[in-house]
Amino acid sequence: MLERTPGLVPVAKGNGYGFGLPRLAHCARDLGVPMLAVGVPHEVDLVREEFPGDILVLQPWRAFDATAVALARDPRVISTISRLEDLELLGNLGGDTKPRVMVEARTTMQRHGLLPEELEGITAWESHVEVTGWRIHLPLHSEETEAEARTLARAVAEISPAPIGLSHVPASTVAAIADELGSTGPDGTVHPYDVRLRMGTELWLGDPQAWQTTATVLDVHPVSRGAEVGYHQHRVPGDGWVVIVAGGTANGIGMEAPTAGASMRARAISVATGAMEAAGKALSPYTIDGRKRMFIEPPHMQSSMVFLPKGATPPAVGDNVPVQVRMTTVAFDETIEE
Ligand SMILES: *Cc1c(COP(=O)(O)O)cnc(C)c1O
């Protein structure tokens, strides 16, 4: 990925895409990249020891955040500026070092960023803060965002020829913009413009063969049809086994993030009606003896009860069974490198 993506800026934020922020910071150090991006100011402390380079905070700087204010004085940290008024505050912060910033331009995502007519305004502050670059955060890639990336990149480069950071565009777009905005030296060689690509999901989770997620079987009890089990004393639907397996709400089991698109309505309905109430009807993410099995009741904090029907081969206490998780919401008890 690094070879294919000149200017790669790894993103380590949230739950560290399942691997944890310190581990990702360590990986970024091994990659030898000069910059790592985190999501919010509080995450800087979790990567600072492992990663020796610049740390970019993606969430725009705000004066109400005491951590963000303190970090603005840290020479290793680059704050994101999304409003001219915040640039003015940072410019007047005082201290020994100039705050280092990247300036975010508003895109069709309509999240944060300076409007096109405001971009010029940063030049007034260039002697008070170090503008290390521009940031463009686009919606997921399409023909429109491709065109938007090019137009915005040209607009910001004309105001100040600082590096441009993009996300969610193919590496080929980055290369095309770098060539388009690049300069040609007197001897005819092209010097590409400094364009960087921030990447999280594709970098850390792009190869699903690279990791395995398992849960440990904590207990197995044979049960007969109609037996009452669990906090809610639900009846089991048949003869078989109750399997108590590690992983519960504290790990993000049974608490999946909503998916995008057409299933939103269905999701909203199942959340509103508490679909888990339908005991024995909810498919769990645990695979036991080759198939996903039903929850007996909603997962507990750190374990879940699932039903294994007669005819299946029960696991042994201590076995590890596959569990399907969403890597950006899961909290593992342990991650092991092999
Ligand atoms: C999260 C984030 C990224 C990385 O997103 P992925 O989809 O995980 O690659 C890039 N830029 C910004 C501003 C982000 O917040």
Contact between 223 and 242 under an 8 Å Cβ cutoff? The reply is yes
Q: Which whole-number Å values give the CA distances from 71 to 171, 258, 324, in the listed order?
A: 31, 33, 37
pLDDT at residue number 188: 85
> 224 CA to middle of ligand 1, Å?
50
> 199 CA to middle of ligand 1, Å?
6
Output phi, psi for 118, to 5 deg: -95, -15
Contact between 37 and 68 under an 8 Å Cβ cutoff? The reply is no
Nearest to 120 by CA among 88, 160, 82, 153: 160
CA atoms of 51 and 35, how far apart (whole Å): 9
Nearest to 314 by CA among 222, 190, 188: 222
Q: Over the Cα atoms of the chain, what is R_g?
A: 25
Q: Which whole-number Å values give the CA distances from 290 to 155, 287, 313, 314, 322, in the listed order?
A: 55, 6, 10, 11, 9
CA atoms of 219 and 316, how far apart (whole Å): 8
pLDDT at residue number 140: 85
Q: Judge if the beta carbon of residue 167 lies within 6 A of ligand 1.
A: yes
Residues in the chain with pLDDT < 50? 269, 271-280
> 9 CA to middle of ligand 1, Å?
10
Q: Which whole-number Å values give the CA distances from 316 to 43, 219, 333, in the listed order?
A: 40, 8, 20
> 185 CA to middle of ligand 1, Å?
34
Q: Judge if the beta carbon of residue 11 lies within 6 A of ligand 1.
A: yes
> 36 CA to middle of ligand 1, Å?
12
CA atoms of 191 and 244, how far apart (whole Å): 61
Q: Judge if the beta carbon of residue 136 lies within 6 A of ligand 1.
A: no
Ligand 1: residue of 138, 167, 169, 328 to mutate (most ligand atoms within 8 A of CB) is 167
Nearest to 297 by CA among 251, 254, 268, 266: 254
CA atoms of 250 and 330, how far apart (whole Å): 9
pLDDT at residue number 51: 98
> 143 CA to middle of ligand 1, Å?
19
> 279 CA to middle of ligand 1, Å?
37
The burial class, CB within 10 Å (0-12 / 13-18 / 19+), for 272 is exposed
| pTM of this structure | 0.89
**Ligand 1, atom 7: nearest CA belongs to which residue?**
201
**Ligand 1, atom 11: nearest CA belongs to which residue?**
167
Task: Output the 3-class SS for the chain.
Answer: CCCCCCCEEEECCCCHHHCCHHHHHHHHHHHCCCEEEECCHHHHHHHCCCCCCEEEEEEECCCCCHHHHHHCCCCCEEEEECCHHHHHHHHCCCCCCCCEEEEEECCCCCCCCECHHHHHHHHHHCCCCEEEEEEEECCCCCHHHHHHHHHHHHHHHHHCCCCEEEECCCHHHHHHHHHHHCEECCCCCEECCCEEEEECHHHHHCCHHHCCCEEEEEEEEEECCCCEECCCCEECCCCEEEEEEECCHHHCCCCCCCCCHHHHHHHHHHHHCCHHHCCCCCEEEEEECCEEEEECCCCCCCEEEEEEECCCCCCCCCCEEEECCCCCCCCCCCCCCC
Paired tokens of 88: 């003015």
Output phi, psi for 310, to 5 deg: -50, 145
Contact between 249 and 258 under an 8 Å Cβ cutoff? The reply is no
Q: Judge if the beta carbon of residue 165 lies within 6 A of ligand 1.
A: no
Ligand 1: residue of 43, 58, 59, 164 to mutate (most ligand atoms within 8 A of CB) is 58
Q: Judge if the beta carbon of residue 198 lies within 6 A of ligand 1.
A: yes
